[in-house]
C-alpha cells in the first residue's frame, strides 16, 4: 500500500452505517491495523431510506470507535463521489467489508469503476468475521421495526438508539 505525500498510509472505509453494526466495527478494528490513519466516511445513499440523519450516524460511529479505543480512526461525513472524497482525504486505500458472494459481485464492480477513476487508490477487501457475516444494517432495522431483538447484531448503545427511534416512528406489523 502506498503512502500519501505526508508519508502516511491513509485508508478510507465508506458506508452509510445506518445503523453501525458489529460487522462494521469488526471491519473498522481490522482495517485500522492496516493503515496509519483510517477515515470512516459516512455517506448518504439515494437508494436507501435512512433511519438516522448523517449527523446521528457519524456520532454513532464515533462512539463505537471510542469504545474500541481506536486512536488512529476518525469519522467524517461526505456526500460526493467516493474517489473524489478519497483523493481529498489523501487516501491510498479503500477498505471494504465482504459478507457473501453477492457482496463480492457488487464490490468487484465498484472497485473496477473506482480503479478507472483513480488507479492510484487500491481497494482492499476484508472478509467479515464468520459469526458476523449475516449482519446487514437493512436487516437490523427491519428486525427492530417488527419488534425483534437486535442485541446480537449491534452494541448495547446502538441497540438503545435504534429502539428509541423505532418507538418514535412506530413499530410495524401486528399478529
Catalytic positions? 24, 48, 99, 137
Question: What is the C-alpha to C-alpha distance for residues 7 and 4, in angstroms, rounded to an integer?
Answer: 5
- Please state, in angstroms and rounded to a whole number, the distance separating the CA atoms of residues 60 and 111: 27
Cβ atoms of 124 and 95 closer than 8 Å:
yes
Contacts of 11 (CB under 8 A, 6+ apart): 1, 31, 34, 35, 37, 38, 39, 91, 92, 93, 94, 95, 124
Q: Which residue has 468475521 as its cell numbers?
A: 129
Cβ neighbours of 171 (radius 10 Å): 12
Residue 50 CB neighbours (<10 A): 16
Amino acid at each position: 500500500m502506498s503512502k500519501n505525500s505526508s508519508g502516511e498510509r491513509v485508508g478510507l472505509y465508506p458506508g452509510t452505517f445506518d445503523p453501525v453494526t458489529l460487522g462494521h466495527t469488526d471491519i473498522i478494528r481490522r482495517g485500522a491495523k492496516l493503515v496509519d490513519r483510517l477515515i470512516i466516511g459516512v455517506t448518504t445513499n439515494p437508494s436507501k431510506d435512512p433511519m438516522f440523519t448523517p449527523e446521528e450516524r457519524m456520532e454513532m460511529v464515533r462512539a463505537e470507535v471510542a469504545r474500541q479505543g481506536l486512536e488512529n480512526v476518525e469519522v467524517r461525513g461526505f456526500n460526493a463521489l467516493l474517489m473524489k472524497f478519497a483523493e481529498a482525504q489523501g487516501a491510498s486505500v479503500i477498505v471494504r467489508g465482504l459478507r457473501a458472494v453477492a457482496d463480492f459481485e457488487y464490490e468487484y464492480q465498484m472497485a473496477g469503476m473506482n480503479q478507472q477513476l483513480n488507479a492510484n487508490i487500491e481497494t482492499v477487501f476484508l472478509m467479515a468475521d464468520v459469526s458476523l457475516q449475516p449482519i446487514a444494517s437493512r436487516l437490523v432495522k427491519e428486525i427492530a421495526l417488527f419488534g425483534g431483538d437486535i442485541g446480537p447484531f449491534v452494541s448495547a448503545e446502538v441497540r438503545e438508539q435504534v429502539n428509541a427511534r423505532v418507538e418514535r416512528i412506530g413499530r410495524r406489523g401486528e399478529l
